[in-house]
Amino acid sequence: PELAWGRPVKVTVQSLSDVSFLLTARTAVQAREEFDGDVVALEGISPNQWLDGEVASTVAQAVIVKVTPPDGGPPVKGILGSEGLRDGNKPSVLDRIGVRVLSVDVANSQLILTMKDVAVAAYDAVSELKMLVDKKLRRGSQKGDIVIEVNPVRDNVAGKELHVAKVTLGCLKGKPARFGDAMASIPEARQAGAEAMLRDPSIQAMLAKDPQRYLRNLVSLRIGRVASDEEDFLYVIEDQGGDS
């Protein structure tokens, strides 16, 4: 409706907290939170692929998004954390937005999304990948278990240029491999230059212990590129925000 000072208008409470509330004058604000789709439908999707989403609801530190799979199947429920918002602006209920998939947790039926573009650093200056590795830790007995390259890592700083901060040796399995301090999800294109997603799996423990705290402290995922391959493993350079 057209707004004017003193003119009555029908509003609907869109979100509510102990200290504030948000109203909207839109006529259809109650998006149906019906998610018939399974997160499996988005497992293995490229982090470069943009998907159509519709905001179903909002909470203090996250947005619940109804995501349409590429094949046009049933909508899937996704979580858009505060760190995934473009320019920090939270969309409203029923807004149509473009999102990318950052992680798919089939075991917990959880889909983490972002509205931000892929940030890819230049790797031309890296002459020898193994010079970046401080220590290798091979754990587990099964072929394909993750191997971790332990380097000090800074927290991601939005808006800063990216630099190489950590090297992770990931497995060749199509599904994410969890082990120790790192997690790598290697896409189908496993040759050098292919993109891979990396993240700290501690957010899984946070989610199991305290879901609300998880949403308040959502760990951002980082996009890296496969720098070289060696037998059954892939070296993946991780992008990390920094001051340079």
**What does the pLDDT look like over 146-156, one tens digit per residue?**
333 323 233 33
Instruction: Name the residue with higher pLDDT: 221 or 195.
Output: 195
pLDDT at 173 over 60: no
Q: What is the pLDDT at residue 70?
A: 87
Query: Is CATH 2.40.50.140 the classification given to domain 31-114?
Result: yes
Both tokens of 138, joined, read 């091979």
pTM above 0.85, yes or no: no
Q: Which of 12-26, 128-142, 208-222 has the lowest mean pLDDT?
A: 128-142
Strand pairing class (76-81; 110-114) = parallel
CA atoms within 13 A on the CB side of 7: 7
Mean pLDDT of 87-93: 83
Q: Which of 11-25, 35-49, 59-73, 214-228 has the lowest mean pLDDT?
A: 214-228
Instruction: Name the residue with higher pLDDT: 78 or 163.
Output: 78
Instruction: Name the residue with higher pLDDT: 88 or 115.
Output: 115
Domain boundaries, the chain: 31-114, 129-241
- Average confidence score pLDDT of the chain: 56
* Residue located via tokens 């948000």: 22
Q: What is the pLDDT at residue 54?
A: 92
Q: Which pLDDT band, with edges at 50, 70 and 90, does 241 fall under?
A: very low
Query: What is the C-alpha separation between 155 and 164, in angstroms, rounded?
Result: 13
